[in-house]
Structures are given as C-alpha cells and as structure tokens.
Structure 1
C-alpha cells in the first residue's frame, strides 16, 4: 500500500494537473464510463461537524475508492483547515487497498478545478471581472484557478465578515490583479463570472443582483438544506452540474426543484458539454449556472494522479497491509 501524507500532496499536483483530471472525469461520467455511489453526509452531533463519504468507480481509469471526511467549523481557531478528509484507493481487480492520500489540499485544488472547468466551457470569452462570494480557506484556490481561464482584469469580493477578505486581496495582489471589497449589489453589477464558496443555508445572492451574460459557479459546501443563491436565480439560468443526483438532493438545485421552479430534465451535465453531446452557452445574454456538488470521482481522479507522480519520484511511502 502506498501512503502520500497531507504534507506531501501539494508537491505532486498542480492546478493544471487537477484541471485535466477533473475535466476528464466529468467527460467519463457523461459518457457513463464512470459513476458515483450514493453520498453519506451527516451531522455527527459533536463539534458542529458534518461527516461523510463520497465514493465511485471509473471504468476508463479503473479508479476505485472513497473520500472520508467533512467540515469542522471550529478548526480554524485551532490552526487547522475546517475541511478535513482522506482519500482511499483500491485495486479494481482485487479489492485490496492500494493507496491512502491526504485529502485536504487535494479537496481544495479539485474543487477549484471544477469551477475552473465550468468557466472554461461556459463563461463568455470576453469576461473581465471575477466576483467571489465568500473568503474562507477555499476562496483563494478558487481565485487562482479561475484567473487562468479568462483574462480577468479585476476581482471583486464579498464576505459576511469583511475583514476576512484580506485572503482574497493578497491572492489577487500576487497575481497582479486589482481587488475591491464590495457589497452584493455592486458585485453582481460588475461581475462577468461569480463564484460562491460558502457554507450558507440561506440564499446570499438573488436573481435581481446578477446581470445578463454572467456565469455563476456555486461551489460551497453541499449537503441537504444548503443554499448560496436564491432559487429564482437558479430558475432564471441555464443550469449545468457535475452530477444530476447530487445536484437535486444536496446541491444548489434542490430548492428550485422542490419549489417547482426547475425541472431535473433541464439540468445539463457539464461532461456532456465537454464531450460535445450537449450545448453550453448559447448567447452572450443568458445566465449560466454551474452547480458544483463535489463528486467523489473528482477526488479519486486527482488522488490517482498524486499516487502516480509520487511513485515516479520515489517519494511515496510503501507499507505492507
């Protein structure tokens, strides 16, 4: 069995690696060559934590495994990231455990890659202003990945605690992009692409605040009851997702589906756009929305890449199991 500890994962996967892995797995899912198993995600009744499992199997790459972990809101005060996870990979031929990979950085980079893939395939080519709602640990990953997909000239950000926007301001400065802290009305009025990356259970952004032609990527914590944008915005947009089942049950689409504002058949898998079997953006005026629910296959694809590179570099820890 191979072990790649959390402290080493970042050495073996970059943004481009994660983008390619996630784009490919979305395509495999849409082609029905890969599938995710039902998600388990529950409040454990301790430390206000959410804990669960995401798993799946990709026939094309033979990636089989699961990610175990969740969200501990008090971790930041302990000097830890709120999201904690570990990926386990298994041999598809024998069922034996193949690898254990630290999942915290991996989760951050693959989540950012998913929104970046949506921007690459759905945002207007002339998008120049990037808006980000939320300023937690994941937000800077989102900014850096998104900025590689369009020639953005400015970043605007909003957070319930404005002082935390320093994380985004510093990341933007590193990339040579001007940053402005704004209210939600100004964010919507200026942005060509908006990424929401929060753990909200009440809508933050409404359809009235988003202008025509905007691409919205909803990337925050996904669980039953979560909601980052108003159901009216979901209904007003052409909606894309990584996986239908998760979008309607634990994703941003759940409320619009429940309220009868959106039919499940109206949701398009992003992988189908990648494969060329479905249309993406069809006009410069339409709002596109990506409901990124964070499928387990994303984790497995990126973890597979980490294991391969660590093994090639002779840096993987091998143990008998």
Structure 2
C-alpha cells in the first residue's frame, strides 16, 4: 500500500494536474461511466464537528475509494486546518487498499479546479472582471485557479468581514492585477464572472444584482440549508452542476427546486459540456450558473493523480498492509 502524506502533496501535485483530473472525471460522469455513492454527513455531537464520507467508482480510470473527513470549527485555535480529510483508494480488481492520501490540500485544489472548469466552458471569452464573494481560506485557491482561465484585468471582492479581503488582494497583486473592495451592488454591476465561496445559510447575492452575460460559480453550498444566492437567480440562469442529484438535495439548487422555480431536468451536468454533448452558454446575454457541490469522484481523481505521480517520480512510499 502506498502512503502519501499531507505534507507531500504541495510538491507533488500542481493545480494544473488537478484541473486535468477533475475535467476527466466530470466527462466520465456525464457519459455514465463514473458514479458517486450516497453521501454521509453528520454532526457527531462532539467538538461541534461535522463528519462524513464521499465515495464512488470510475469505470474508465478504475478509481475506487472514499474520502473521509469533515469540519472541526475549533481547529484554527489549535493551529490546524478546520477542514480535515483523508482519501482511501482501493484496487478495483481485488478490493485491496491501494493507497492512503492526505486530502486537505487536494480538496482545496479540486474545488478550485471545478469552478475554473466552469469558467473555461461557460464564461464569455471577453470576460475581464472577476468578482469574489467570500474571503476565507478556500477563496485564494478559487481566485488563483480562475485567473488562469481568462485574461482578467481586475478583481473586485466583498466579504462580510472586509479585513479578510487582504488575502484576495495578495493573490491579485502577485498576478499583477488590480484589486478593489466593493459593495455587492457594484460587484454585480462590474463583474463578468462571480465566484461565491462562503458558508452562508441565507442568500447574499440578489438576482437583481446580476447583469446579463454574467457567469457565476457558486461553490459554498454543500449541505442542506446552506444558501449563497437568491433562488430567483437560478430561475433566471442556465444552471450547470457537477452532479444533478446532489445539487438538488444539498447544493445551491435545493432552494430553487423546493420553491418550484427550477426542476432537476432544467439542470445540466458540466461533463456534458466538456464532452460536447451540450453547447453550454447559448448567447452572450445568458446568465450561466455553476452549482459546485463537490463530489467524491473529484477526490478520487486527484488522489489517483497524486499516486501516479509519486510512482512515476520514484518517491512513492510503500508499506505492507
């Protein structure tokens, strides 16, 4: 069995590696070759933690396994990341455990890769201003990955605590792009692409604040009850997602579906756009929205990439198990 520790991931796997892995598995999902198993996510009644499993199987790559972990809100006071996860890969032919891979950085990279993919396939080619709603730990990964997809000339940002926007400004400055903190009205008026990455349980961005032609990647809603944008916005938009069943149950689409503003049949799997089976954006005036819920197959894809790279570079650590 191969062990890849959390500290090894940063020097082993690049954002580009994760982008390619996620692009491939989304395409496989849309072809019906890969599927996710039901998600388990529970409050454990200790340390205010949420804990769960995401798992699945890709018949094309033979990636089989699960990610185990969750959210421990008190970890930051202990010098640890609040989100903790580990990925287990199994040999599809034998069921033997193939690898254990640190999942914290890979989760951040695969989440950023999915929103970046939505920009690649759905945002207008001439998009030049990107808006960021949310400035937590994951936001820097989101912005960095997004900046690779278009020739953005400006970053505008909003956060409930404006002091946290400095981390986004640092990413923009490093890339030689100006950054400005703005209110939500101005963000919606200026941004060609908007990424929401918060833990909100009430809509932050209103439908009236988003202009025609905007592409949105809503990345924070992954639990029943969470919500980042008004349900009416999904009714106005062409909606895409990583997995339709998950989007309607725990994703941003859950609220629009519950209110009868959107049907599951109105939502398109982003893999269908990647495969060329769906055209994606149909006109420059369309509002497109990607509901990024995060699926277990993403984790298996990037962890498999990490294992393959470790083997190819001769740095894989193997133990008898």
- Superposition TM-score tier, normalisation by shorter sequence: over 0.9
Structure 2: gaps (5+ residues): none
**Residue in 2 aligned with 1:133?**
133
**Residue in 1 aligned with 2:244?**
244
Q: Deviations over 1:166-199 (max 9, x none)?
A: 1101111111111111111111111000001111
1:262 aligns with 2:262: yes
Distance in 1, matches of 2:75 and 2:234, equals 32
Distance in 1, matches of 2:187 and 2:12, equals 35
1:150 aligns with 2:153: no
Structure 1: gaps (5+ residues): none
Q: TM-score, normalised by structure 2?
A: 0.98
Aligned-residue offset at 1:245: 0.9
Distance in 1, matches of 2:79 and 2:182, equals 28
**Residue in 1 aligned with 2:3?**
3
8 Å contact kept, 1:81–1:137:
no
**Residue in 1 aligned with 2:119?**
119
Q: TM-score, normalised by structure 1?
A: 0.98
User: What is the DSSP-based 3-state SS (H/G/I as helix, E as strand, rest coil) of the residue aligned with 2:305?
Assistant: helix
Instruction: After superposing the two structures, state which structure 1 stretch, 65-74 or 83-92, moved more.
Output: 65-74
Distance in 2, matches of 1:293 and 1:274, equals 18
**Residue in 1 aligned with 2:277?**
277
8 Å contact kept, 1:88–1:99:
yes
Aligned-residue offset at 1:12: 1.5
Q: Deviations over 1:87-111 (max 9, x none)?
A: 0000000101000000000000000
Distance in 2, matches of 1:45 and 1:222, equals 20
Q: Deviations over 1:48-71 (max 9, x none)?
A: 221111000000000000001112
Distance in 2, matches of 1:250 and 1:299, equals 18
Distance in 1, matches of 2:114 and 2:252, equals 15
8 Å contact kept, 2:221–2:228:
no
1:55 aligns with 2:16: no
8 Å contact kept, 1:204–1:229:
yes
Aligned-residue offset at 1:74: 2.4
8 Å contact kept, 1:130–1:194:
yes
Aligned-residue offset at 1:310: 1.0
Q: Deviations over 1:27-54 (max 9, x none)?
A: 0000001000011111222222211110
1:84 aligns with 2:110: no
Instruction: After superposing the two structures, state which structure 1 stretch, 70-79 or 301-310, moved more.
Output: 70-79
Aligned-residue offset at 1:165: 0.8
**Residue in 2 aligned with 1:183?**
183
**Residue in 2 aligned with 1:110?**
110
**Residue in 1 aligned with 2:314?**
314
Aligned-residue offset at 1:234: 1.1
Q: Give the total of aligned pairs.
A: 321
Instruction: Report runs of 4+ in structure 1 exceeding 6 Å deviation.
Output: none
User: What is the DSSP-based 3-state SS (H/G/I as helix, E as strand, rest coil) of the residue aligned with 1:120?
Assistant: helix
Aligned-residue offset at 1:76: 2.3
User: What is the DSSP-based 3-state SS (H/G/I as helix, E as strand, rest coil) of the residue aligned with 1:211?
Assistant: coil
